[in-house]
Amino acid sequence: MSYFDAASAAPLHPVARQALLASLDEGWADPARLYREGRKARLLLDAAREAVAEATGCRADEVVFTPSGTRAVHTGIAGALAGRRRVGRHLIVSAVEHSSVLHSAEAFEADGGTVSTVAVDRGGAVDPSAYAAALRQDTALACLQSANHEVGTVQPVGPVAEACRAAGVPLLVDAAQSLGWGPVEGGWSLLTASAHKWGGPAGVGLLVVRKGVRFAVQEPVDERESGRAPGFENLPAIVAAAASLRAVRAEAAQEARRLRELTERIRVRVPELVPDVEVVGDAERRLPGIVTFSCLYADGEALLHELDREGFSVSSGSSCTSSTLTPSHVLKAMGVLSEGNVRVSLPAGTDGQDVERFLRVLPGAVAGVREKLGAPAPATAVREQELVVDSLGKRCPIPVIELAKVIGEVPVGGTVRVLSDDEAARLDIPAWCEMRGQEYVGEEPAERGTAYVVRRVS
């Protein structure tokens, strides 16, 4: 089985395994106690904190270990907003932040705060000037991920941090995807991360709060971890997390070069091997191991199952794999095709032969899914100036498949009106038009759902 979903959770690094097993014997005692076993545990905890601080580029007393990256995000955002409540109750986030950030923003808004969402370009990157424009007198906090978890696009944290610093606004950076590759650029104020993203054990998150940042803990204060992460520390996991971070950093430069070559191979060859594919995410400013593409006329869940049967573990941002039947908020914000979406995220040590086998298997997997769904054959004779396609009650990718089947039945200049109540159609029909050289006229209200109007131009 080839595991290509490292962006969700990287395999446990050998150094992490060794450190975990060793600290189970040495670090089981309470590090807050003064007897010998407690002092020994405390030394391990302090050493882990020092190692993480060095890798992150901060002071050791600015690092807090939390039970998860999500907990670090929730604690960091809530604490920073509360600490600056006198300044105002305005929060800035990007449209492609991790759900943990967006959920925190929703909770803040429900509690009476205001949230500004900064849009991204088609590659998934924010414009630093848009962050600067969003800053207000009452802005308490801005948030920006260092790199996107779904498409791998690296964000311009440095310029955004500079704009925030000039305005006196702290910037929280979610560095979950990038910290294993190197420290985050710029003068950020708070940082969060999660050990299982770089090959450490699950259940260890990082929260860094720079000295001078106003911060008010929003839960009962415990004597541990500066009062910001209550409860007994999972010391063996923390030690393993710190050891693996140091190890992956030592290997990062060499491994990044190797993985970039493999992902570039996928980016170039997938559109050559599979028709009607859109490769998404910034082509240059991206993480080494992530490549994402979407396939027209394909069901994301069915495609993932086909690839799983062929021995490949991948993930998807397609609405077809979601219980909510809505597209990934990241793909939606980028305005790219969401149906048949596949994210390949290669772990360290991936063999080039595994990538070649994936490229051999993929065309057949996509073709099989399309055939089962009745993907379009070449166009038929012209019949009507305008056709109405009723796709109400049908989910992605069926509305686009039905559009593609009938576009050839109207003359050049004629229109097809697709009726759909699937949220994904709002994203996928315009994307299909761009890929196939047809004109997307727009959407109109319908008695049920929405009418998406497409004009044939070729």
Please identify every residue annotated as catalytic. 320
Measured distance CA(392)–CA(451) in Å, rounded: 10
Nearest to 161 by CA among 57, 254, 300, 70: 57
**Measured on CA atoms in the order 155, 161, 167, 171, is the torsion positive or negative?**
positive
Closest listed residue to residue 95, CA positions, set 76, 54, 123: 123
To the nearest 10°, the Cα dihedral for 89, 92, 98, 100? 0
Task: Produce one character per residue of 60-88: b if its CB has 16 or more CB atoms within 10 Å, e if not.
Answer: eebbbbbbbbbbbbbbbbbbbbebbeebb
If you search the block for the tokens 């009476």, which residue do you land on? 112
Backbone angles phi, psi at 97, to 5 degrees: -65, 160
Helices (H), 296-397: 300-309, 329-334, 352-373
Burial bucket for residue 412 (CB in 10 Å: 0-12, 13-18, 19+): exposed
Angle at 388 between CA 383 and CA 393, to 5 degrees: 140
Residue with tokens 């490229």: 359
Measured in residues, the chain has a length of 458
DSSP-derived secondary structure letter, 314: -
In 198-287 the beta strands, taken as DSSP E runs, fall at 205-209, 277-280
User: What is the rounded radius of gyration, in angstroms, for the C-alpha atoms of the chain?
Assistant: 24
What SS3 class is residue 362? helix
Is 11:3 a contact under the CB 8 Å cutoff?
yes
Q: What is the DSSP annotation of 411-436?
A: -TT-EEEEEE--TTHHHHHHHHHHHH
Between CA 329 and CA 48 the distance in angstroms is: 36
Burial label for 257, CB within 10 Å (0-12, 13-18, 19+), is exposed
